[in-house]
Every structure is written in structure tokens, then in C-alpha cells.
Structure 1
Amino acid sequence: MRIVLVGPPGAGKGTQAAYLAENLSIPHISTGDLFRANISQGTDLGRQAKSYMDAGELVPDEVTIGMAKDRMERPDATGGFLLDGFPRNVSQAEALDAMLKSEGMTLDAVLDLEVPEDEVVKRIAGRRICRNDSSHVFHVTYSPPAQEGVCDVCGGDLYQRDDDSETTVRKRLEVYHTQTEPIIDYYRGQGLVVTISALGKVTEVTQRAMAALQ
């Protein structure tokens, strides 16, 4: 099964992608992982991406597309894949269609995780990270520490990352609405979009997604 996963920041795409890929026995292909792997391995595409990132510029679509193409051509992806973070805009979606068509393949579904904007802001802006260990994550509403501002695990200070502030989250949502959301209409025109609510427990959302994909 070949699936594209879309949704706003804070929709839980990474979490759901991991569960869905495991349930469907297909690789989870994340743009973030692709960038990190290519840069750490010093591939030609990784060097190109790093040069743009070091200059504070956006990585061009052709570099991202090249990384995705290389990953999708590996043996473990012959039976399908779940794309998370790619395509990010309509031009990338068109390039993905052309890439698949050249291999005689098509997408099976585009899973759209729907979350109200205020809930996205609440989820991200309420996050607090431990200064001693960034894997210790709390939430002021959903998983608060026993003592405000103190990590339950190691006693370290909890803080809000700059990119988790409400102002930054709303800017990220603007970018999503402008750049990424249009691909939902693009794929809806192909009859591929399946929209589900991403509210509730992680397991509930996974069950909802599996039922919708079947």
C-alpha cells in the first residue's frame, strides 16, 4: 500500500506514521529522517541540502524529491510505503505522481489527519521539555509534572522551546495552510483523500486510520 500522510503541525503525524507503518508492514519514510541520513552519510544530495541549510535557505524541491526517490527505490519499499512530510506542496505532489507513473505505480490513499486549529496550538504551546534530557517531555494540560516546572524523572528544569510558543505555532499553521493544505485538494481531485479526526487517544486515532484505509 502506498500512502501519503498529511495534517497540520501537532496532529501527531510522526506517532501515527510509526504505528500505521508497523500495522501495514511497510516502511515509514519521513522527510526529517531522509535529511538527517543523507547529511550524516555525506551523500551528494545530503551535501547539497546542507549547503542550503547552512546558508539559512530553503532546500529546493528537486533535492527533497531526489532523496525521496532514492528511498522509495530501495527493496523494502517495493511492496509499499508511508510518506510523512513529503510531498509538502503541490509541485512536489506532481513530481511524486510523475515519479510513480514512470514506474507504473500510483498512490493508494492520502490520509488527512484533521485537528482544530485551537487544539493544535494547545497541544504544541503546552509542551514542556527537560533541560537535562530532551526525551523527558511533559504537557501543562495532558501530562503535567507532579511539581510545576520540575521534571518528574530527573528533577531538571522544564522549559518551553522557542518554536513551541503560540506565536510561532500560529506562523507554522499559516505556512501549512498556504503551502501544504492545497495538496489535499489536489489529491481529492484524484479521489484519494481519506479524512479522519486526530482527536482522542493515540490508539483510537490509529484504529480510526486503519478502518478508513481498509
Structure 2
Amino acid sequence: MSHTPSQPHRTPRPSRRQLLQAGAANAALGIVGAPAIVRAQTGPKIRIGYWPIAAGLPFYSAIEMGYFKEAGLDVEPLKFAGAQQVMEAVLSGRADGTANGTGSANIAIGEIAQPGTFKIFCSNPSNVKNVLDQVIVPLNSPAKVMADLKGKRVASGPGIQNVTLAKAVLEHGGATGATVVELPIGQHVAALAAGQVDGAYTL
């Protein structure tokens, strides 16, 4: 009766693919366990469209103070002239999202154009306690109440939503017959100082 000597037990050598997978997993775990600033540098860039209005102050502060990087997010702010341009940038793939201050009506129009593109998960709507817009006049203006702007030229932000809101606010306040003039928000104060408009519905 013949006896075949037993072979010493050998541990299977890992394949190249297994080594690469393990290396990738360890690298991912290293990134997750790393400080947020490192994750922000290695994570995908998040392009956020905005237009410069007062309602966007929380977003500007988060950029300037580094809050996004502290949270491990690499956010690239993209400035646009108006809310409609922000919405169009998302539709065309030039922006990944919008900052606060982009009108819900603009987002709704974008969602109608390309269903499934937009989702609002954080908003700061304007209401009695949270005032984000106002009607302003020059310091030397005789206007004391909204009705004093009856028949006057009043600036509004660009876009159909701003114009519609301005007309509704003025009419509701008794300023019937006022002419609404579209101007970039950043030009409202200069236009008032130059006497080009008598008031401004601004954000």
C-alpha cells in the first residue's frame, strides 16, 4: 500500500484585483476617517448657482467662513445675474444646485421643463416674521407709505417673478399706476441715488 506524503498547507495568494479592491476600500475608509478639510479636497466639487441678493446671506457666509469645508464639502459658488439664469444653469448641467434666494417659481418652471431635475430640501420663505424683501426710497423722498408711489417709477429685480411680485405688492399697498422697471438688484441703490427711479422693490 503506497502512501502519498501530505503537501504543506498553503494560504491562497490574493489576486491583483483583490489587492486593488482592498486598497481602494482602505483608502475610502481613510478618507472617511480623515478630517473634514481633507474630505473636501478629495470629494467631488459641488457647483452651486446663486445671484447676489440679501436672501442669499447665509450661503455667502458659509462660503466666506469655510463652513462647507468644515463639513467636508467642496462647494464652488457660481454667480449669475438673476434667478432664471441660475435655474437654466442647473437644467444645462453647468450647476449642481441653487443657493437660497432662487425663487421657487423659477425652480417650478425648471421642473416643468425637465421633470425630476429639482428637489427643494431646504428653503427660507419670506413671511411676516422672516422679511426678505422690501420697498425702499431715497432718503429725501416725500414717500412715507406705499400709496405715495402711485404713478411713480419703481425698480424691481430682473425676471417675471420679481416683476409680478413688485406689481402685486405695489397695487396691494395702494400704489396704483406705478411703472415697474427691471434692474439688476445691485443697481437699485445707484438708480435711486441718481433719480432714475422713485423707489425699488428689492431683495
TM-score normalised by length of structure 2? 0.22
RCO higher in 1 or 2 (8 Å CA, sep ≥ 6)?
A: 1
Normalising by the residue count of structure 1, what TM-score does the alignment of the two structures yield? 0.22
Higher Rg: 2
Which has a greater percent of helix?
1
